[in-house]
Amino acid sequence: MKLKLSIIFFLILFIFINPVFAKNQQDEANNIYFNKAEDLYLLAKIIHAEARGEPFIGKVAVGAVIINRVNSNKFPNKILEVIQEPLAFTAVNDGQFNLEPDHQSYQAAILALQGNDPTNDALFYYNPIKTTSNWIYNRPVVAQIGKHIFAK
């Protein structure tokens, strides 16, 4: 029964991600490259690691920030490279990124890859209770979702 549910889940997931990647995998104008399943998995992992316990819209927002960075000329143009930037994400530094993402994180990743962005193009987010770097407080705030503040 568990195997059948897993198969059904991945079939449904495939149906939802197909439209995301129906267009060219590389955006020539911005030299942005998305690698279907790998990028979906990586985005779901960072969402799960960084936004566990946040409302669903907050998970989509975290995913949107990653995509916004990929689309920005100020950051690397691949999801993995954005995630691996030194000291960029606490969950990468403390090992939470190694956790397997849950179903909701995959759903949030799909929405972010489809262009849903509740952050109004934010490039940064932080939890003011946990943040130790003062430079982030100088960024213009564009949204607050759950415990995260989103900034440009």
What pLDDT, in 10s, does the model give residues 101-116?
999 999 999 999 999 9
Domain membership flag for residue 17:
yes
CA atoms within 13 A on the CB side of 58: 17
Q: Is residue 129 part of a domain?
A: no
- CA-nearest of 93, 109, 90, 95 to 147 is 90
Number of domains in the chain: 1
Task: Identify whether 50 is part of a domain.
Answer: yes
**Domain around 9:** 2-120
The per-residue pLDDT for range 57-107, each reduced to its tens digit, is 999 999 999 999 999 999 999 999 999 998 888 888 887 888 899 999 999
Indicate whether 145 belongs to any domain: no
More confident residue, 2 or 82: 82
Alpha-carbon distances of 105 from 42, 65, 88, 123, rounded to whole Å: 10, 14, 19, 19
CATH number of the CATH domain containing 96: 1.10.10.2520
Structure pTM? 0.77
